[in-house]
Structure 1
Amino acid sequence: MKKYILLLFLGAQLVLRGQSSGLIADDIAVFYPENYEAERHQPSFAIKRELEIRGKIPRQWTLIPQFGYDGENSTVKIDIDEDVDLYGNGEVTGSLRRNGTSVELWNTDNYVYKKHEGKRLYQSHPWLLGVRPDGTAFGVLADNTWKQDFDLKDDIAITSYGPPFRMVIIEKNSPQEVMHALADLIGTIPMPPLWALGYQQSRYSYYPSDSVRYIAREFRKRKIPADVIWMDIDYMDGYRIFTFDKQGFPDPRKLNRDLHKLDFKSVYMIDPGVKADEDYGIYQQGTEGSHWVLDQSGNAFVGEVWPGDCVFPDYTRPETQKWWASLYGDFMKLGIDGVWNDMNEPAVFDSDNFTMPETNLHRGGGDLPQDIHRRYHNVYGMLMVKASREGILKASPGKRPFVLSRANFLGGQRYAATWTGDNLSSWEYLKLSVPMSLNLSLSGQPFNGPDIGGFSKNADGDLLAHWTAIGVYFPFCRNHSSKNTTSQEPWAFGETIEDASRKAINRRYKLLPYLYTLFRKAHTAGTPVMQPVFFADVKDLSLRGEEETFLLGEDLLIIPQWAERPHLPGGKWETIPFEEEQDDYQATVKLRPGAIVPIADEVFQSTEDYNTRKIVLLINPDEEGKASGTLYDDEGNGFGFEKGIYSLHRFTGSADDNEVRVEIKQTEGSRKLRRVYKIGYIHDGLITYSDWSADEVITLSLEK
């Protein structure tokens, strides 16, 4: 802390005399400015339940917000020590460490991140994680949806173009503890369907429907695992949402049925812009139900998007949310598996700011008050995906919904996964994708990833292979490219690139038992699936800025081939020998000392084939010869897991010079499967296997 002790003390007293500041949990405080108006901010979009004061803020509390308000704009300043490392702010460009940066939280359709110097992107996360040199950590949450800026060039300075807002500050012993506290405040991701963790192929656009079938058949013929094919806007009739082009997609039900026969799932895009067409049923319904956002004169706002002139649902209205959800009923009955909500910043082409005017009116209803678009802009996408998810769930109540959203807000992980928007096919953007996804992960959104291969411009084979070789370890794993660009399916650049891509994707499917277990941890505790390397040793300051390598969970270290002199955690991390022959593309994957990681014995061509009947336990004992790990398993879809129909197994290992021993115990759940295991003991880059066993204790003799 800057040592202005007297000033800090006086500042603290001013804040603590505010109307309701106090502790809401151990080491979590909420601070209110004296002129806070709850109706201008509540109910909160980020925080899932209203805050309850449980105690006074202790005098030794050091992070004290200093509030300001000039009658129009609000400010918050928090003094921090110069040696604190800052992370988060959600979807951001630039370095992993956010010190010295500034961002503008105003959701913006930002093609290849070039507008506004890359400081405005598609999502807004008013959240920061701070880590001190001793490994203790704090979190700063501005509970504010209004247009706002974060300036981290000195201390933490927030400027909001709206009324005064409250601040929540978390103090914990480690960044991991802060992430768990954040999850308790803003919620976690819902448990995804297993198929959403598979490799996914997309393009703007696969057209006509026979080209979709061709792509699916090629994956199966070439033995490249994949689970999903995506439909961009060209499947629609004139870009009218919830319709199909009669020439290109004459029978979507049959297309989806054909994909299912090949063990593929389908995801279709739905945008918020509704074509203003008097002969179009969705427009007729929305107009009759008064469902549109209004301009400042009280008329339905009209703006240009892909279909031409469009109107936009006002998702602040409960009636509109219900109507929007109802539109998915017949749509999902066509055999559609997932939905992609795009352009929902919302993007508007014929506007200086590429969105609707800040003075537009949202009428609200229920818990949400009427207010201008400046208040609701950053949560427009979040409200959309919430209604979409509810509609998909109602249409298919026995299945876990999957929604992908381009725009979102802090807390929106409760409704949708995300990706990092329209990136570029270049080495710069490949390398940028790692810190982008890490900062999203450190902002409560663990289900995220980039467009593998890059969306805009032409990829080449070398770039695609390297991007696939690292992209298979991102939580969300999708290859996506734009119109008028080179095709970038795994086979598009010849046998060498195809083989490299196949090897990488095979690895992801072998790691599915471990990856699915990580998603369960994200669902239950908010633990990031993709983690920065400094999580391995929060006191090793050399790791704080490492942004080429990353952790998958806490047990696997991912090192790209292209990483230059990366800073790696100490200890004897062992390299996992996935293949007998190495190529020039595959990432090095290292197993943490003291870890046991469950992987599949075989490579599945899709998650339809996935099972945990035969599991290999990769083990790397620590210096004391100890190791541990877990395996989560359920039905892969549906909600039986909420009734206890799942299994959680814990593995406890020990090793000495003569023997490796692993004890297996089911600790949770009623799901009972006949399963066999074998140990894969990794030492000095070599792997030694035990025999298969169904016993609760497996041993591997090391005697020669």
Structure 2
Amino acid sequence: MRLRFVLALLAGMLLLGEKAMSQYRFLGNLTGIDFQKDGALLRCGDDLVRLTLLAPDLARITLAPEGRWHSGPDYAIARAEWPGATFTVAENATHVMLKTTALEIRILRSPCRLAFYDAGGNLLNQDEEAFGLGWEGKEVAVFKSLLAGERFYGLGEKTGGLDRRGSEWQMWNSDIPAYSDRTDPLYQSHPFFIGMRAGRGYGIFFNNTHRSFFNMGAGNHRVYSFRAEGGALDYFFFAGNTMKDIIRRYSELVGRMPLPPKWALGYQQCRWSYFPESEVRQLARTFREKKIPADVIYLDIHHMDGYRCFTFDAQRFPDPARLLADLRQQGFRVVTISDPGIKVDPGYAVYESGLQGDHFIKFPDGQPYIGDVWPGPSHFTNYTKPASRAWWGDLHKDFLDKGIAGFWNDMNEPAVWGREAPLLVEFDENGRKVSIKKIHNVFGHLMAQATYEGLLRLRPQERPFILTRAGFAGTQRWAASWTGDNVASFEHLEVAIRMCQSMSLSSIPFVGADVGGFAETPTTELFVRWMQVGAFTPFFRTHTHINSPDQEPWSFGEWAEEVNRKYIELRYRLLPYTYTAFHQAAVEGVPIMRPLFLEFPEEAETYQGHNHTTYLWGNDMLVAPVTRAGERIRKVYLPAGTWYDFWENKTYAGGNYIYVDAPVEKLPLFVRAGAVLPMGEVLQYVEEKPLTQIDLHVYPGAERTSVLYEDDGRSFEYADGMMSLTSFKVTTKAKNVTFSLAGRQGKYAPPARDYRIILHGQSNAPKLASLDAGKVAAADLSFEAGAGTVTVRLRDDGKAHTLRFDF
């Protein structure tokens, strides 16, 4: 009986699927082709496909059903002008081929379908021959062949495993508190993914802001697809030798994270909510008394007067300017929350000026839309309108003048009670009315843009700091992100690690999760484990919900406080290394937090799901968190090469699994042989004092080059050359190690300081240590047998030096 029911159900589903598919139209035969300077226009009867070669490794494919092209702003695109590519054309009876130095596109004539090959003639990706590009009414879709062994990565803020194959994912920014490991969609939409097969890869960015779906082979082994409920069928195809190449090029298209203010790399403390003023002062005082480093305190919605944005509650915060000045004296910056809902309240200045300036979204009959959220009935800003973005940006002036250092954009999916705004709501897009169906996914993106541009106008010499919950492809140009309202559970700790890596692969490098979990209450073990992970997450903030127990570093007893202090201090000691990784992300697009397969794509084990809670921090550190309650031994896969245990005088051969002790107070950390880790002293906040000494931890065993990036940490002068780069090289031979320090490059001169070069992994003192061919003075040389280190002190004069150790 049950079997007959299942068979009948499956038959019905197949019939429904065939009926739905029969309603799609697909490209017919290629009836003509017009070659152009930057590519080709394909004619398939009345339907057109524009194939644009933006660069040798980058193509854009755009469909015009019945010759109708879509128009409008490309909200995600940062770079519109490209050099193009020289290409050759070859034709035969079945195909037309366009070939650059990096990519070959083969166009099947009957029916018109596209296939993409690398320069060596290896297939990367192809349209499914029966389907390809299709549309039904306003819906557009692309159907691709699902190739054997193909894996998919990216798609931004998604739960589940890093490999997206076998599931369908939706892009529709959604406020889902206390989500699970199977919840989809969430707060951000990133319609970009990377396909990998047999060591070769490609990327696809679907340039469409409407609700979209990515079926990456769910329920079948024949096709994968991406489709949208409206808008253009417009996608970019990236061919790269490595996954890093693809991410670099994608980040060039949608924009890269600008360097944040350096203080934003410090520890940040938040809860819903710290109030009144006396509680905030006590919080700051406790951090300093306990000598736990911290840079940022957040004020959630209870700082406002009746949840009115850009106001302070006069009873809870009677003199905010004085409070902020006092906190700044203690080394704290304050970040306030900003929700997009503007309270409908005659007499409230923001509401009145918004109405007067016509800055709110409306129904088609011209009535401003009202949605219920924290303040009650509220209007929402029309961020697609440049004048309205400028209005919103200027609203931040009073808070900046009072001393607020950054802004936290929340509830900007946009979230309203009942979850969704009516799809009737319209925006003004350059004088044209457009539906929220198009703008919903970029609402938070545009709010972040308006905030960033406003802060830049109001404080042009200071780097803005903005944190956003909602976002889209390219939001990294304006804001950092966090993964929303997570849960205090070990499952969510693991989810957070994977989600941050997925966001990083999608060019959102400045990302983190609420340490300890937002909803519910963490155990001591969980909080300590999560604090360890937070210290190795780009955005490092603790946050919890209203009426929850305290969730500060000292809230779980003296033992936990000591461990938490240790890892927060380590975060600050590693700032020279971490800030260099941030610079790499800003300049190259390579993320700070990296899956193992991004750095070691040739190793099959790095793609295994059980290794996706192990990741690289910058170029040379490997982090292997414990994500199971009660676990005290961690099985770790170390990629090829030699690896040093960060905590002990011990090395491991890579390409293997190892087992390491992992008591609750220990985060397994490893350093790649050949690396140089620049580390500073413990600071109570990032700008507490200039570093008078930088420790250069040298890990011999391979030949590698490392760098140290520096600037003032505040301004944009680095863009004009007011920065410095110092490179280090380690060369290891049988009986000697050579450490080379290149001369400092750039206009920025750091304050006077010393270097301590600390050579790891040594069982004996060197027979000879020479600096620039002269012997190192005995007073500047030391050996610690227990730690296995040799230390040499050297004045940093900005010049090149060579230090050689003979054993």
Q: Which residue of 1 aligns with 2:668?
A: 588
Aligned residues of 2:694 and 2:754 also touching (Cα < 8 A): yes
Q: Secondary structure at the match of 1:44?
A: coil
Deviations 1:614-653 (A, max 9, x none): 222222234xx42320000001101121121111011112
1:690 equivalent to 2:769? Answer no
1:577 equivalent to 2:647? Answer yes
Q: Which residue of 2 aligns with 1:3?
A: none
Q: State the structure with more CA Rg.
A: 2
- 1:487-502 → structure 2 map (5 Å cutoff): 487-502=550-565
Deviations 1:111-161 (A, max 9, x none): 01259x511100000000122232x22111000001111111254311211
State which drifts further: 581-590 or 178-187: 581-590
Deviations 1:397-443 (A, max 9, x none): 22110000000000110000000000001111011111100000000
Aligned residues of 1:133 and 1:539 also touching (Cα < 8 A): no
- 1:197-212 → structure 2 map (5 Å cutoff): 197-212=265-280
Aligned residues of 1:500 and 1:583 also touching (Cα < 8 A): no
Aligned residues of 1:561 and 1:586 also touching (Cα < 8 A): no
Q: Which residue of 2 aligns with 1:597?
A: 677
CA distance in 2, matches of 1:191, 1:36: 45
Aligned residues of 2:305 and 2:312 also touching (Cα < 8 A): yes
Matched residues, number: 687
User: Which residue of 423, 448, 451 maps to 1:358?
Assistant: 423
Q: CA deviation at 1:334?
A: 0.5
Deviations 1:426-461 (A, max 9, x none): 111011111100000000100001000000111121
CA distance in 1, matches of 2:243, 2:547: 44
For the aligned residues, what is the CA RMSD? 2.5
Question: TM-score, normalised to structure 1's length?
Answer: 0.93
User: Which residue of 629, 635, 639 maps to 2:716?
Assistant: 639
In structure 2, the CA distance between the partners of 1:108 and 1:700, relative to structure 1 (3 Å rule), is same
Q: Match of 1:130, as an amino acid?
A: G
Aligned residues of 2:306 and 2:375 also touching (Cα < 8 A): yes
Q: Secondary structure at the match of 1:436?
A: helix
Q: CA deviation at 1:355?
A: 2.3
Gaps of 5+ in 2: 1-25, 34-40, 88-97, 107-115, 118-124, 629-633, 651-660, 763-785
Q: CA deviation at 1:103?
A: 1.4
1:272 equivalent to 2:340? Answer yes
- 1:92-171 → structure 2 map (5 Å cutoff): 92-113=158-179, 118-134=183-199, 136-152=200-216, 153=218, 154=221, 155-171=223-239
Aligned residues of 2:170 and 2:212 also touching (Cα < 8 A): yes
Q: CA deviation at 1:271?
A: 0.6
User: Which residue of 76, 83, 87 maps to 2:149?
Assistant: 83
Deviations 1:161-209 (A, max 9, x none): 1033211010111101111111111110011000000011000000111
Q: Which residue of 2 aligns with 1:408?
A: 471
Q: Match of 1:31, as an amino acid?
A: I
The one of the two structures with greater contact order (alpha-carbon pairs below 8 A, sep at least 6) is 1
Q: Which residue of 2 aligns with 1:670?
A: 747
Aligned residues of 1:678 and 1:689 also touching (Cα < 8 A): no
1:649 equivalent to 2:726? Answer yes
Aligned residues of 1:627 and 1:653 also touching (Cα < 8 A): yes
Question: TM-score, normalised to structure 2's length?
Answer: 0.82
Q: CA deviation at 1:20?
A: 2.3
1:25 equivalent to 2:55? Answer yes
Q: Secondary structure at the match of 1:333?
A: helix
- 1:278-357 → structure 2 map (5 Å cutoff): 278-349=346-417, 351=418, 354-357=419-422
Q: Which residue of 1 aligns with 2:779?
A: none
Q: CA deviation at 1:38?
A: 8.4
Aligned residues of 1:459 and 1:486 also touching (Cα < 8 A): no
Q: Secondary structure at the match of 2:795?
A: coil
Aligned residues of 2:231 and 2:438 also touching (Cα < 8 A): no
Q: CA deviation at 1:393?
A: 1.7
Aligned residues of 2:268 and 2:294 also touching (Cα < 8 A): yes
Aligned residues of 1:102 and 1:119 also touching (Cα < 8 A): no
- 1:226-625 → structure 2 map (5 Å cutoff): 226-349=294-417, 351=418, 354-365=419-430, 369-544=432-607, 545=609, 546-562=611-627, 564-577=634-647, 584-600=664-680, 602-609=681-688, 611-622=690-701, 625=702
Gaps of 5+ in 1: 1-6
Q: Which residue of 2 aligns with 1:187?
A: 255
Q: Which residue of 1 aligns with 2:703?
A: 626
Q: Match of 1:499, as an amino acid?
A: E
State which drifts further: 160-169 or 508-517: 160-169
Taking only the aligned residue pairs, the percentage that are identical comes to 36
Q: Which runs of 4+ in 1 moved over 6 A?
A: 7-15, 36-39, 578-582
Q: CA deviation at 1:504?
A: 0.8
Q: Which residue of 2 aligns with 1:4?
A: none
Q: Secondary structure at the match of 2:147?
A: coil
CA distance in 1, matches of 2:293, 2:804: 32
Q: CA deviation at 1:567?
A: 3.0
Deviations 1:81-115 (A, max 9, x none): 22122111000111111111221111011101259
CA distance in 1, matches of 2:373, 2:326: 32
In structure 2, the CA distance between the partners of 1:466 and 1:44, relative to structure 1 (3 Å rule), is same
In structure 2, the CA distance between the partners of 1:419 and 1:27, relative to structure 1 (3 Å rule), is same
Aligned residues of 1:659 and 1:699 also touching (Cα < 8 A): no
CA distance in 2, matches of 1:47, 1:387: 16
